[in-house]
Amino acid sequence: MSVTGHTRSGGGRPASIRDVATAAGVSHQTVSRVINGHPSVRPATRERVEAAIARLGFRRSATAHALASGRSRTVTVLTSNTVHYGYAAAIKGIEEAARAASFAVGIHVLESDDERLVTEALRRATDPGGGLILIAYDSPGVRALELAPADALLVAAVETPAEPPPAGRPWVWTDDRAAAREATRHLLELGHRTVHYLAIPSTTRTSGGAQRAAGWRDALTHAGVPVPEPIEGGWEPADGYAAGRRLARDPDVTAVLCGNDDLALGVLRALREAGRAVPDEVSVVGFDDAPHSAYLAPALTTVRLDFAGVGRACFALLHGLVEQGEPIAPHPVAAAPRLIVRESTGPAPAR
């Protein structure tokens, strides 16, 4: 890698509205009116001011603007991860919506769920006047949700809750339970005698537990087939690979539902190495529909989740909060989860 140095150019401090005012022969308030597009400024005056602005290269200080107006038009995203697909896509949705509303977006990563670290992160990310969006899909995020001060202006993207949360919680989620149910039913309809579930770590402590698991269990129970013990996975392909090696050894396993596409990717590889053909011997379903999943060998059957939509909804909710300071109407902008059937699922093998 290479890096080249730099020499700072440019002179004194940037021009302020008072500098512009002097240059244009008006008061600073008139300059303020011009930059804010206030209607009652005589065209001739406006032109003079605009000329001065251009001449001096004036740019309004967002900092001063935020301080004086009390509105920072800023939203900070608190998340444990920015690279994994679901997180990255949610952030993308937030950024899009924020940009459209002329909000700046900040990112702050939570490295662990350590209480002191999370508290410190919350302190730093919470500037009075700015909003907070929490991605609470995992334990650092959930911890931050617990530790956040009650008066914080915050919205959270959360794992599907077991039951409707207390009213007044600005939370956004997709219906994972229904989605998992649909995916499991798809496998059962293909003739599999049961479906194994490889779980992502769940953050839900309350009874009811993870809703992806619950939806899977719903479908099995409804079909009256045996419910195997769910397997504890992680988030990464390596976790899926490790679990997949164990699953591959069990000849009774013919269908696996994975908590996300990365796990499914690892499972696919483990099955391939073990010589178990997908989908002829084993069917695999993922969760998320990451961009590369359609190109895998075999292309992954998966549940598409609208993370970007969740991100946009989070921002919309927050926007309403900071503008009105009051409850706002829900914005149902994210698409419902949808099962995308591709190549990794097929009829159960004859026995």
Partner DNA sequence: GGCCCCTGTGTGACCGGTCACAATCCTGGC
Partner DNA sequence: GCCAGGATTGTGACCGGTCACACAGGGGCC
| Site residues, DNA (CB under 7 A) | 13-14, 16-18, 25-30, 32-33, 35-36, 39-42, 44-45, 58-61, 64-65, 67-70
Binding partner selected for residue 336 from DNA, a second copy, none, CB under the kind-specific 5 to 8 Å limit: a second copy
CA–CA separation, 171 vs 133, rounded Å? 10
Q: Which residue has the tokens 């303020």?
A: 32
Encode 17-46: b = buried (16+ Cβ within 10 Å), e = exposed. bebbbbbbebeeebbbbbbeeeeebeeebb
Minimum gap (Å) between residue 97 Cβ and DNA: 23
64 touches a second copy by CB under 8 A: yes
Between residues 128 and 226, which has the closer beta carbon with respect to DNA? 128
Contact present, 42 and 24 (Cβ < 8 Å): no
Binding partner selected for residue 58 from DNA, a second copy, none, CB under the kind-specific 5 to 8 Å limit: DNA
Minimum gap (Å) between residue 152 Cβ and DNA: 16
Which residues share a beta bridge with 104?
74
Q: Could you tell me which stretch among 146-154, 181-189, 199-207, 220-228 binds a second copy (CB under 8 A)?
A: 146-154
Minimum gap (Å) between residue 294 Cβ and a second copy: 7
Between residues 48 and 272, which has the closer beta carbon with respect to DNA? 48
Contact present, 257 and 197 (Cβ < 8 Å): yes
Name which of residues 76 to 135 contact a second copy (CB under 8 A).
Answer: 76, 82-83, 85, 88-89, 91-92, 95-96, 99, 102, 104-109, 123-124, 126-129
63 touches a second copy by CB under 8 A: yes
Chosen residue from 57, 224, 226, 275 binding a second copy by CB under 8 A: 57
Extended beta strands in 20-87, E state: 74-79
Tell me phi and psi for residue 201, to 5 degrees. -60, 130
Between residues 83 and 350, which has the closer beta carbon with respect to a second copy? 83
Decide: helix, strand or coil at residue 51. helix
Residue 54 to residues 20, 58, 166, 275, 312, Cα–Cα distance (Å): 9, 7, 53, 70, 35
Q: Which two tokens stand for residue 221?
A: 């129970």
Binding partner selected for residue 17 from a second copy, DNA, none, CB under the kind-specific 5 to 8 Å limit: DNA
Minimum gap (Å) between residue 56 Cβ and DNA: 10
